Structure 1
């Protein structure tokens, strides 16, 4: 028969052994959960920190990108301003170039005008019919114009042009030549009396001029045309006496020989 005490004692021992066996496992489970929680917490903290760092990095990147965009926009605006300023300066440069060109053209025109006025008033050195003298440009022009009329056989206009010349330039160095050619133009237009007066004036005022002997010979021709043979003879005799070595004097002597 089983002893009840021994049975109770055995049961108590069995329970003690069971508790002893289970206790480490429970203790181990309890301590393992804490470590897991700590690991999870640490992992969560790391994730949160990484997320915060990533958010901060993204925010900084966005700020940097915004700053870069602002810098690029400002740089683009500056470039546009520089382009506008360059275009304005180019326009000013082109305008200045046009103004300088216009000023240079005006200066040339002014200089040409001054030169032209100087040419009109500045005396010219003339050598004509063995004489040298100064003459104004318009004086030479008028003389040449009268001579052109004579060369064209426009005798009446030429005689008028010589008369105008003598009135306009009473002290001209051309005067002896003008008187000579005026007399010839008058003779050619059959104004014999006027021709005699022109040649006589040349003889009186310019006896030493190279044209004077020829003028005396022409004057004698006009006197013959005026039916004044006595006057013509005297003119020829005076010519042969005053200018014996001239070609006109030789012609006068021939004429006188035929008149005897």
Structure 2
């Protein structure tokens, strides 16, 4: 079957229509690509803006962190300064305390030494007082010796030298024939200070007083007691000789 041939006018109309339709299709394609390009650009722009925002946020955080670090450094420096001040004050206080202790120790030592020196001086004075009275007794000045010894006993009732004073008082009173006073003085030694080195001498003195009073039996009993109680003393030997003399 053969197609009918177009007339010249129809052919021209078809060609014209085809020619006119080509730019319209091209414009449609171009507009679609442009829109896609705009969307891509908008997406990229948004992505870049988001990155910029993130970077700005990170930068601000970094600045804040840097500021915090600087603030902490300042606080640490301040604390170090305070620690140094406190350490200085502590060292100064410790030095003052040591100095005070040394000064106090020196003062206490001085006071103690002064007390010891004073006690020694007092003891020396006491001993000199007794020595003076004893010297009078040894020199036969029994009246003066008895007075000095009685004063010593009254002034120093707790002295460790009291037995010695009582013994010499007994000796002086025996010489003065004050036998009652002599017995009392000797008994102070024998009864209250039996372990004193002069206790055997005091016991022998009691035997002398008993013999002077005519109490031979009593004197003998005292001498036997002396030998039994103080067998190794010098007065024990004297007592033995005295007993032999009375036989």
TM-score (norm 2): 0.52
Paired position in structure 2 for 1:30: 27
Decide whether the 8 Å contact of 1:120 with 1:137 is kept in 2. Answer: yes
Q: Aligned partners of 2:105, 2:147: CA distance in 1, in Å?
A: 50
- RMSD over aligned CA atoms reads 4.0
Flag the 1:206–1:138 CA change in 2: closer, same or farther, 3 A. closer
**1:179 aligned onto 2:132:** yes
Q: Secondary structure at the match of 2:93?
A: helix
Structure 1 position 89, deviation (Å): 1.5
Decide whether the 8 Å contact of 2:133 with 2:146 is kept in 1. Answer: no
Paired position in structure 2 for 1:250: 208
**1:202 aligned onto 2:145:** yes
Paired position in structure 1 for 2:175: 239
Decide whether the 8 Å contact of 2:145 with 2:172 is kept in 1. Answer: yes
Q: Aligned partners of 2:96, 2:176: CA distance in 1, in Å?
A: 73
Flag the 1:56–1:213 CA change in 2: closer, same or farther, 3 A. closer
Structure 1 position 68, deviation (Å): 0.8
- Give the paired residue count: 172
**1:90 aligned onto 2:26:** no
Q: Aligned partners of 1:31, 1:196: CA distance in 2, in Å?
A: 164
Paired position in structure 2 for 1:46: 43
Q: Aligned partners of 1:207, 1:68: CA distance in 2, in Å?
A: 99
Structure 1 position 90, deviation (Å): 2.9
Give 5+ residue unaligned stretches, structure 2.
Answer: 152-165, 187-203, 213-247
Decide whether the 8 Å contact of 1:203 with 1:212 is kept in 2. Answer: yes
Q: How does 1:6-155 map to 2 (within 5 A)?
A: 10-111=7-108, 113-114=110-111, 138-143=121-126
